[in-house]
Amino acid sequence: MPVTSVVKDPEALSLTVHAEFPVKVSRLWDAYLDARQIEKFWGPVEYPATFTRHDATPGGRSNYHMTSPEGEEFHGYWLWHEVVEHKFFEVSDGFAHADGTPNSDLPVNRMVFSFDPTAEGSKLTITAAFDSAEELEQVVEMGMIDGTRSAMSQIEQVLMDLRNYAQNFGTDTQILSDTQVRITRLVRGTVEQVWRAHHDEQLMKRWMLGPDGWQMAECVTAQEAGETYRYWWEPLSTEAGSGFGFTGTVLETLPRSYERTTEQMIDTQYPATVNELTLTPNEGGTLLTVLITYPDAQTRDMVLATGMTDGMEASYARLESIL
């Protein structure tokens, strides 16, 4: 059991968790910043978590929900305030409604996650501060202490699995729900390099090609919220068929960290999707995450059946060779 103590301090209006792990700080840090990993231990054993957004940067946001054995979902969110790599990060942690809006009927606490090296590995200290004694008691009565112990009992296995994640540079597709798919790829390059590769028109034409035999004939990028982008691909051989393209609008952006856009296939009646790109520094390079929200399961399955994952992997491999 990694948790060494859980201390409730009524005078300081805080709850502090101390835990120790036989891995170096960077390994533990990556587990908390990788949505695939943190969702394996953020919720209690009986209430697994799913993170649909997790951009670990000041001004960023995380959206998650825990699912009960009966299938009921309990939603929460983080607002990211400060991040010092491999040292600490600070977030506001609150409850949310199903649509992601804050639930003001329940407490919001300020959480600081501190990471320190030890002779055997690393130490994690999580301090949650509340605005009143009543709010502190409310979350304790809701089972926060037992839930934290249950959740963190899973982290040792996750840290073992993380070695495999750290070595896996291939594109991975996970179905999160009837309407959401998460695609991840660890790219050997810095966050700045990968962000530029998604916004520099000439650079995009060199790598965002999908399978061999295609070229990006048109690339108009969008940098700010409200701007519209347009991409068009054509086959190198006329025997391969006609071209295709996508257009959309930037809905939200946190430069070098997060971008949310719409995507519509040009000259078709296919429903539009919402795509969320997140870039997170990782010991192996940059963890690239794309969360795609489809209108329904039928559209989701139709797109996945086109070989989308293989095409994205070919592009990301080409990007790595350029970086």
Give the model confidence (pLDDT) of 226-250 as tens digits: 999 999 999 988 776 788 899 999 9
Examine the domain organization and report whether 128 and 202 are in the same domain: no
Find the largest Cα–Cα distance for the chain.
75
Examine the domain organization and report whether 115 and 60 are in the same domain: yes
Backbone angles phi, psi at 51, to 5 degrees: -100, 120
pLDDT score recorded for residue 306? 86
Buried b (16+ CB within 10 A) or exposed e, 141-176: eeebbebbbbbbebbeebbeebeebbeebebbbeeb
* Residues 205, 219 contacting (CB under 8 angstroms): yes
What total number of domains does the chain contain?
2
pLDDT score recorded for residue 23? 87
pLDDT band at 155 (very low <50, low <70, confident <90, very high): confident
Which of 146, 167, 188 is the C-terminal boundary of a domain? 167
Which of 141, 167, 193 is the C-terminal boundary of a domain? 167
Residues 6+ apart with CB under 8 A from 31: 37, 38, 41, 155, 158, 159, 162
Which domain does 36 fall in, by range? Answer: 3-167
Euclidean distance between the first and the last CA atom of the chain, given in angstroms as a whole number = 41
pLDDT by residue (tens digit) across 39-96? 988 988 899 999 999 999 999 999 999 999 999 999 999 999 999 999 999 999 999 9
pLDDT by residue (tens digit) across 125-145? 999 999 999 999 998 888 888
Domain of 267: which CATH number?
Answer: 3.30.530.20
Read off the amino acid at residue 260.
Answer: R
Which of 167, 199, 222 is the C-terminal boundary of a domain? 167
Read off the amino acid at residue 157.
Answer: Q
Selection from 274, 280, 218 nearest residue 249 by Cα: 274
Examine the domain organization and report whether 133 and 219 are in the same domain: no
pTM as predicted: 0.87
pLDDT by residue (tens digit) across 195-219? 999 999 999 999 998 778 889 999 9
Examine the domain organization and report whether 80 and 221 are in the same domain: no
